[in-house]
Amino acid sequence: MQQKGIHWFPGHMKKAMREIEEKIKLIDVIIEVIDSRVPRSSKNRYLEQITKGKKRILVMSKKDLSDPNIVSMWEDKYKEEGYYPVVCDLNNKNDINLILKAIDVAGEERKQKYLKKGMKPQPLRLMIIGIPNVGKSTLINRLSKRSSASIANTPGHTRAQQWIRTSSFELLDTPGILPPSYENSTEALKLALIGAMKLENLSSSDLASKLLNYLIKNHREALKNKYDLSDEIIENKEEVFEGIARRRGLLLGEGKLDIDRAEILLLKEFKEGLIVKVVLDEIC
């Protein structure tokens, strides 16, 4: 994919990269937030060139929705690639402390440089980036809650950017929003399933059908248990949505089952981790 060069690069991706590139000069540490259910598909590979030379923390969010064993393999892989991965649930205070620790570690070298010169260490400058819906705003909110002050203007910069200041770091409060990947349809499908992007050319009915195929193949028991479905129903794929509608009392009137709502329910409950905790990207 990378060999194809820049000319096919979608315009929105180019624009996002340019915006991030402009800001990156001010930044010491990049925090890329990815969704731990899609550790590859939610990560931006083009960013790797732009962020070279910076310390890179990889926040692998939504661990409460993903399979811990597979996530742990991805964590090791990213460690080997030079990232500082932090697997976390951004709604869990202890996990936020792990991210704060990662920030400390990332800043240590720079701090020592100042100290060696007999200077007071300058605060580390951080920027949070990631595709939509991975938890960037949640993370900014969690980190800024601890901040002593939020300052509007940083002298020396022409553009007034909001920096959130704590005792040890400053956080650029506008996250770099990267568009999700569109060039690979399997990745796009996975991102649609976790709610990170909408697929224009795929109806929710088609998406639900693909999800059902995946669940039958990989998580049959979990599906059966969740909706109290018999083996006979699972064998007959068309009947699964009817079974779900029946179990959940989704009716159209005159006793007819509401299949549309059953499909949407399956998508929603999968996205919320209520059927099974998954990792959709295979490690290789």
Return residues touching ligand GTP (CB under 6 A). 61-62, 64-65, 89-91, 130, 132-138, 177
Task: Indicate the residue among 71 and 240 with the shorter CB distance to ligand GTP.
Answer: 71
Closest CA to 169 of 153, 183, 149, 155: 149
The least distance separating ligand GTP from the CB of residue 96, rounded to whole angstroms, comes to: 10
Q: How far apart are the first and last CA of the chain?
A: 17
Task: Indicate the residue among 107 and 176 with the shorter CB distance to ligand GTP.
Answer: 176
- Which one of Mg ion, ligand GTP, none interacts with residue 125, CB within 5 to 8 A by kind? none
The least distance separating ligand GTP from the CB of residue 157, rounded to whole angstroms, comes to: 24
HSE, side-chain direction, 13 A CA sphere, residue 153 = 3
Q: Where on the chain is the footprint of Mg ion (CB under 5 A)?
A: 136-137
The least distance separating ligand GTP from the CB of residue 155, rounded to whole angstroms, comes to: 28
The least distance separating Mg ion from the CB of residue 139, rounded to whole angstroms, comes to: 9
- Which one of ligand GTP, Mg ion, none interacts with residue 177, CB within 5 to 8 A by kind? ligand GTP
Task: Indicate the residue among 137 and 144 with the shorter CB distance to Mg ion.
Answer: 137
- Which one of Mg ion, ligand GTP, none interacts with residue 151, CB within 5 to 8 A by kind? none
Task: Indicate the residue among 137 and 161 with the shorter CB distance to Mg ion.
Answer: 137
The least distance separating ligand GTP from the CB of residue 171, rounded to whole angstroms, comes to: 14
As given in the structure block, the two tokens for residue 233 are 């129903």
CB 128 within 8 A of CB 174: no
Task: Indicate the residue among 137 and 147 with the shorter CB distance to Mg ion.
Answer: 137
Amino acid at 147: S
Q: Is 237 left (phi over 0), alpha (psi -120 to 50) or beta?
A: alpha
Three-state SS for 11?
helix
As given in the structure block, the two tokens for residue 87 are 């697997």
CB 89 within 8 A of CB 95: yes
Distance CA 95, CA 93 (A): 5
The least distance separating Mg ion from the CB of residue 133, rounded to whole angstroms, comes to: 8
- Which one of Mg ion, ligand GTP, none interacts with residue 90, CB within 5 to 8 A by kind? ligand GTP
Task: Indicate the residue among 89 and 242 with the shorter CB distance to Mg ion.
Answer: 89
Three-state SS for 66?
coil
- Which one of Mg ion, ligand GTP, none interacts with residue 89, CB within 5 to 8 A by kind? ligand GTP
Alpha-carbon distances of 113 from 110, 123, 156, 167, rounded to whole Å: 5, 13, 22, 18
Task: Indicate the residue among 206 and 272 with the shorter CB distance to ligand GTP.
Answer: 272
The least distance separating ligand GTP from the CB of residue 48, rounded to whole angstroms, comes to: 20
Counted residue by residue, the chain has a size of 284
As given in the structure block, the two tokens for residue 275 are 């059927």
